[in-house]
């Protein structure tokens, strides 16, 4: 399998605080990678590297190399960052649809990226909503506010919104942590489906979830990547004692 994402010796500082300490990781195309570890160990900071969302935070310093499709995304000009974000979609921890209609939420990314043709936009919105397994539930109320949807539906809408512009990578930061078990199940099924088209990185607190949806798992602790391997391996016989302690719930 082709390597889609590669981090080599990545360090991240928030001012003086050393949040990521020399991370190395290679993620193959069209796979799901789960990032696990106790709160504050740097999972979100790591995830935000890949669409350069850390750039929005004052005082961040990033060293090392992050390659996506063999391009160092930290050496591209600022003007290319928008294009990078088009390629690398993101779903946030808390569902954050815009206060617009359901349709406009999904159409937003298309319009932002210059699409004007109404028919194409309509088709693309439907396609994304179908991919997010939301179409049947919302097809009769596309003009309604996104805020009328349940939390789980809102999160799937956010997934549809991210997918509408056809990124090749999808970053998800604990996408189900604010949801009930049924909605969580739906999101997990969805992730499984999406794998054939996207390279997915998902941060999760939930060990079962990591083992259910992912092919690879990375375990973070205090800003270090302790272990990165196939999910089966991590959950059956991890190399490191710390990993085993964490997944068996002995700390964190």
Partner 1 sequence: MISFPKQVDREKRLHQAIAFWIARIISYSILLILFLILFFILKRGIGVINWEFLTAMPIDGMTKGGILPAIVGTLYLVLMSMIIAFPVGVLSGIYVNEYAKEGAIKQFVKMMTNNLAGVPSIVFGLFGMALFVNRLGFGASILAGSLTLALLALPLIIRTTEESLKAVDDTFRHASYALGASKLRTIRKVVLPIAFPNIITGLILGIGRVSGETAPILFTVAAYFLPKLPQSLFDQAMALPYHLYVISTSGTNIQASRPIAYGTAVILILIVLGMNLLANFVRSHYSRKVKMK
Ligand X SMILES: Nc1ncnc2c1ncn2[C@@H]1O[C@H](COP(=O)(O)OP(=O)(O)O)[C@@H](O)[C@H]1O
Distance in angstroms (rounded) separating the CA atoms of residues 110 and 54: 23
Tell me the chain's radius of gyration from C-alpha atoms: 18
Distance in angstroms (rounded) separating the CA atoms of residues 20 and 219: 13
17 binds, among Mg ion, partner 1, ligand X, none (CB under 5 to 8 A by kind): ligand X
135 binds, among Mg ion, ligand X, partner 1, none (CB under 5 to 8 A by kind): none
45 binds, among Mg ion, partner 1, ligand X, none (CB under 5 to 8 A by kind): ligand X
Comparison of 19 and 210: residue with beta carbon closer to ligand X: 19
Q: What would the x/- binding string for partner 1 be over residues 46 to 75, using CB under 8 A?
A: -----x-x--x-x-----------------
Sites for ligand X among residues 31-90 (CB under 6 A): 37, 39-45, 57
Distance in angstroms (rounded) separating the CA atoms of residues 55 and 48: 9
Q: How far is the CB of 80 from partner 1 (least distance, A)?
A: 11
Pick the binder of partner 1 from 147, 180, 230, 241 (CB under 8 A).
147
108-116, 126-134, 210-218, 240-248 -> range binding partner 1 (CB under 8 A): 108-116
40-48, 119-127, 154-162, 177-185 -> range binding Mg ion (CB under 5 A): 40-48
Q: How far is the CB of 112 from partner 1 (least distance, A)?
A: 4
> Are the CB atoms for 122 and 83 separated by under 8 Å?
no
Distance in angstroms (rounded) separating the CA atoms of residues 12 and 19: 6
- Taking each helix axis from N to C end, the angle separating 102-112 and 118-131, rounded to the nearest 10 degrees, works out to 120
For 44, phi then psi, to 5°, come to -65, -40
Comparison of 46 and 103: residue with beta carbon closer to Mg ion: 46
> Helix or strand or coil: residue 191?
helix
H/E element holding 244? helix 241-247
> Are the CB atoms for 13 and 61 separated by under 8 Å?
yes
Comparison of 4 and 161: residue with beta carbon closer to partner 1: 161
Pick the binder of ligand X from 2, 17, 118, 251 (CB under 6 A).
17
Q: How far is the CB of 223 from ligand X (least distance, A)?
A: 7
From 177, 179, 172, 171, select the one nearest 154 (Cα to Cα). Answer: 179
112 binds, among Mg ion, partner 1, ligand X, none (CB under 5 to 8 A by kind): partner 1
Here the tokens at position 138 are 């919302």
40 binds, among Mg ion, ligand X, partner 1, none (CB under 5 to 8 A by kind): ligand X
**β-strand pairing of 216-221 with 32-36:** parallel
Using the rule CB under 5 A, is 44 a contact of Mg ion?
yes
- Taking each helix axis from N to C end, the angle separating 151-164 and 118-131, rounded to the nearest 10 degrees, works out to 130
Footprint on this chain of ligand X (rule: CB under 6 A) = 14, 17, 19, 37, 39-45, 57
């Amino acid at each position: 399998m082709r390597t889609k994402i590669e981090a080599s010796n990545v360090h991240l500082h928030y001012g003086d605080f050393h949040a990521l300490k020399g991370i190395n990781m290679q993620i193959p195309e069209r796979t799901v990678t789960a990032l696990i570890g106790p709160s504050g160990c740097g999972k979100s900071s790591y995830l935000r590297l890949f669409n350069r969302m850390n750039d929005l935070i004052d005082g961040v310093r990033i060293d090392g190399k992050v390659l996506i499709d063999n391009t160092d995304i930290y050496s591209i000009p600022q003007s290319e960052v928008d294009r990078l974000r088009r390629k690398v979609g993101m779903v946030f921890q808390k569902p954050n649809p815009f206060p617009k209609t359901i349709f406009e939420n999904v159409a937003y990314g298309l319009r932002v990226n210059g699409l004007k043709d109404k028919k194409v936009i309509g088709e693309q919105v439907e396609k994304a909503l179908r991919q997010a397994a939301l179409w049947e539930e919302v097809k009769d109320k596309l003009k309604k506010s996104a805020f009328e949807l349940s939390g789980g539906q809102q999160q799937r809408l956010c997934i549809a919104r991210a997918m509408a512009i056809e990124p090749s990578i999808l970053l998800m930061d604990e996408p189900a942590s604010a949801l009930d078990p049924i909605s969580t199940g739906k999101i997990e099924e969805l992730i499984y489906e999406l794998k054939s088209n996207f390279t997915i990185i998902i941060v999760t607190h939930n060990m079962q979830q990591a083992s259910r949806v992912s092919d690879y798992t990375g375990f973070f602790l205090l800003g270090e990547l302790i272990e990165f391997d196939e999910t089966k391996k991590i959950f059956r016989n991890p190399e490191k004692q710390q990993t085993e302690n964490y997944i068996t719930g002995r700390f964190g």
